[in-house]
Amino acid sequence: MKLVIIEPLGVEKEQLLKIAEEKLSKDVEIVYYDTRVTDTETLIERGKDADILVVANLPLNEEVIEGCEKLKLLSVAFTGVDHIPLDLCKEKGICVCNCAGYSTAAVSDLVFGMLISLYRRLAQCDTAVRNQGTKDGLVGFELEAKKFGVIGAGAIGTRVARIAKAFGCEVYIYSRTEKEIEGAQFVSMEELLSVCDIVSLHVPLNKETTHLIDKGKLALMKENAVLINTARGPVVDSEALAEALNEGKIAGACVDVFEKEPPVEASHPLFHAKNILVTPHVAFATKEAMVKRAHIAFENVRAWENGKPQNVM
């Protein structure tokens, strides 16, 4: 059985192959590619003989899936699978597994890193002090006593809610499925948007969540509110958000994700908006998270080999 790791997974080759060898049976041939390519022809060439493909967030289009004629399992070393043609995989009987949970701590950390950076104007403070400046004009805000809204109560949303509570925030949650989260109250999305000082998005990308936050939803938010998106870019209407920021309808935004993977064109509307902090889809990217997801990705393969597939999408 041939397993192809079709792109780098953020772990040193020696460590990655050691994890794979520890998890998999001896009859699995492992092929590892340490470069990331995006052209269809090369991807098909890499995967055409593979029974199993391991991929992170590299988009695999329908042509690639069709070209990998022997493919039986796609182990996605990522939480979201919107870069995979799931319908085609199901049609062809290809099992698709993801790595839910590997980046829960990493993404939650960045939510608060970005928020505190925006609240305390850290980039401006750094520039000021390097230029013999002072704190004049750089007085920030505290998290304590702020109303913190979380949209989506999965693993990451739940962790963010608990951290917000530890900061002394009043926590509100909107989710289609309610569960017990100490110190948080579930409310409608409209109520959450209208009362919260901070709104953090933690939903998957699908037909229902595309442009979940649009011009109408942004109009419900308070003028002092900050929107945080570490979920998926299309969950927010970027042009509507840029307009809301530039017109002072909301106070700020922290955005880690866009309609496409970085690099993002300099003309993107959010790059010309006021009071926004942007990062290049790094929320999931910590040394620890990369190792966690490698373990899960190969555990998924082992479970599938044993006839008990897990984390199936």
Catalytic residue positions? 232, 261, 281
26 is written with which tokens? Answer: 């001896």
Say if residues 32 and 59 touch (Cβ distance below 8 Å).
no
Beta bridge partner(s), residue 32: 5
Beta bridge partners of 147: 170
Whole-angstrom CA distances from 83 to 56, 156, 265, 296 are 10, 20, 20, 19
CB atoms within 10 A of CB 307: 6
Q: How far lies 130's CA from each of 118, 125, 133, 278, in Å?
A: 19, 9, 7, 22
Which letter, b or e, does each residue of 101-134 get, where b requires 16 or more Cβ atoms within 10 Å of its Cβ?
bbbbbbbbbbbbebbbbbbbbeeebeebeeeeee
The Cα–Cα gap between 151 and 153 comes to: 7
Instruction: Look at phi and psi of residue 178 and say left if phi exceeds 0, alpha if psi is from -120 to 50, else beta.
Output: beta
| φ and ψ at residue 169, rounded to 5 degrees | -85, 160
Close Cβ partners of 249 (under 8 Å, ≥ 6 residues apart): 218, 219, 221, 223, 243
Residue whose tokens read 């993404």: 107
